[in-house]
């Protein structure tokens, strides 16, 4: 944001104490940026990290317990949500919610109840309330996704905070069908006439706008590249990447390459003009041409900067159809560059060519099979 990108920040309570979050929120607001709070209620019994410092922590319990909360406790929960959002200076309330699952009508009912509680808090503050719609991994068919959304979209929300759970073992989704369902769900929410914020988007930000989003959430960590419930479960893993080298996010490849090893390989085995294209565009955090070392922290900021700067133009487009067409074209270009790298006998460690072509295919499928939905968005003056 200090470098001039981004409209605001989504604060996550899991690893940030409430008092510290208030300090950060003030800094963001002093930059003239917006603030939202994701309550991270996806596993309501999860209480590790810094969650216990937050007012709504005392209301974390089983799904059954939440469903049976008496009205007096619901009022207390609303006041706790109000306190958090008011003291952070949030621009809207993001309602707590459980990920929607196939054949789980009780989750639809519980999320409706949690939304009404959050709506009371938003109304008390005088700010909008967004319904959280995170579609769980059990939604493996279009019909299941549509059934989930038919229940979720009955909520009188001012907008949608949308996520789609992907396989916890994958860095990014690679299948055409799962990406198609991700896009279709976003487009369906957009057709409700209310704004969609695609949470946990990561590199998927480039097709999120083509699926009707008006905003995306981008984080520096790989476990934010798509919603993964494992982030909110107790684990013995330490994570952190250890001694792994930094990755250079290439806007041309729309993927990562190991720095400096693969950068050196590319410069030696393909033409200089071609290798220089792969390292474009640059950012304020890119390594200098003579740099041998580069910190992982700078590499992560570089990635966010490149994704945000390249998707910003998609956000400014007049309609979602144009944004998807542009994203598909960029992904097809990335696939072409990857083919040339493979032809040069180079195998990138991150298998960063595993998803671009399937994402492009999913985008084309959405454009073809849901042309009327795009027409509807245009008629309604939507994205």
On whether the pTM is more than 0.85, the answer is: yes
Give the torsion sign (CA, 119, 122, 126, 129): negative
**Domain range annotation of the chain:** 8-232, 247-379
User: Coil, strand, or helix at residue 162?
Assistant: strand
Distance CA 332, CA 253 (A): 10
Percent of the chain with pLDDT over 90: 63
In tens, the pLDDT along 37-55 reads: 999 888 888 877 888 899 9
Distance CA 2, CA 6 (A): 9
* pLDDT of 65 over the 60 cut: yes
Q: How many CB atoms lie within 10 A of CB 143?
A: 10
- Do 84 and 96 contact (CB within 8 A), yes or no? no
Ranges 20-24, 70-74, 288-292, 377-381: which has the least confidence:
288-292
Distance CA 27, CA 30 (A): 5
In tens, the pLDDT along 201-236 reads: 999 999 999 999 999 999 888 778 888 887 776 655
- Burial label for 54, CB within 10 Å (0-12, 13-18, 19+), is buried
Instruction: Please name every residue paired with 34 in a beta bridge, in sequence order, or none if there are none.
Output: 8
Q: How many CB atoms lie within 10 A of CB 112?
A: 16
Q: Who has greater pLDDT, 241 or 158? A: 158
* pLDDT of 122 over the 80 cut: yes
Which residue, among 169, 308, 316, has the nearest Cα to 249 in the 3D structure? 308
Which residue, among 229, 8, 193, has the nearest Cα to 99 in the 3D structure? 229
* pLDDT of 87 over the 90 cut: yes
- Given pLDDT bands bounded at 50, 70 and 90, which one contains residue 115? very high
In tens, the pLDDT along 339-370 reads: 989 988 888 888 888 899 999 999 999 999 99
Distance CA 119, CA 123 (A): 6
pLDDT score at 238: 47
Enter the CATH code of domain 8-232.
3.20.20.70
pLDDT score at 149: 93
CA distances (Å), 42 to each of 95, 98, 99, 197, in order?
11, 5, 6, 17
What residues contact residue 241 under an 8 Å CB cut-off, 6+ apart?
Answer: 296
pLDDT score at 9: 95
CA distances (Å), 21 to each of 27, 29, 42, 126, in order?
10, 12, 20, 21
The overall average pLDDT reported for the chain is 90
């Amino acid at each position: 944001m200090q470098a001039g990108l981004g409209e605001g920040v989504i604060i996550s309570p899991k690893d940030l104490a409430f008092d510290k979050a208030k300090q950060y929120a003030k800094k963001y607001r002093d930059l003239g940026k917006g603030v939202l709070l994701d309550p991270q209620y996806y596993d309501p019994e999860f209480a590790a990290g810094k969650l216990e410092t937050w007012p709504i922590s005392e209301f974390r319990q089983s799904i059954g317990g939440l469903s049976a909360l008496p009205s007096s406790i619901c009022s207390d929960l609303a006041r706790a949500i109000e306190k958090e959002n008011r003291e952070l200076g949030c621009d809207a309330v993001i309602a707590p919610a459980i990920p929607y699952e196939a054949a789980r009508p009780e989750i639809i009912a519980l999320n409706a109840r949690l939304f009404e509680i959050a709506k009371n808090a938003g109304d008390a503050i005088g700010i909008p309330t967004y319904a959280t719609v995170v579609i769980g991994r059990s939604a493996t068919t279009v019909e299941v996704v549509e059934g989930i959304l038919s229940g979720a979209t009955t909520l009188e929300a001012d907008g949608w905070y949308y996520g789609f759970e992907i396989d916890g073992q994958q860095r990014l989704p690679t299948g055409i069908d799962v990406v198609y369902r991700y896009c279709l769900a976003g487009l369906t929410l957009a057709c409700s006439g209310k704004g969609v914020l695609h949470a946990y988007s990561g590199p998927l930000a480039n097709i999120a706008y083509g699926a009707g989003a008006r905003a995306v959430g981008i984080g520096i960590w790989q476990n934010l590249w798509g919603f993964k419930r494992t982030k909110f479960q107790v684990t013995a893993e330490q994570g952190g990447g250890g001694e792994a080298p930094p990755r250079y996010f290439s806007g041309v490849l729309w993927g990562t390459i190991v720095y400096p090893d693969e950068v050196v390989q590319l410069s030696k085995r393909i033409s200089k003009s071609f290798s220089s294209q792969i390292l474009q565009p640059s950012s304020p955090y890119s390594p200098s041409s003579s740099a041998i070392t580069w910190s992982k922290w700078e590499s992560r900021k570089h990635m966010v900067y490149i994704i945000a700067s390249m998707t910003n133009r998609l956000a400014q487009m007049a309609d979602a159809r144009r944004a998807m067409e542009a994203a598909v074209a960029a992904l097809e270009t990335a696939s072409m560059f990857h083919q040339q790298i493979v032809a040069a006998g180079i195998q990138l460690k991150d298998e960063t060519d595993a998803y671009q072509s399937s994402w492009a295919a999913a985008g084309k499928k959405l454009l073809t099979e849901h042309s009327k939905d795009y027409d509807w968005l245009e008629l309604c003056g939507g994205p």
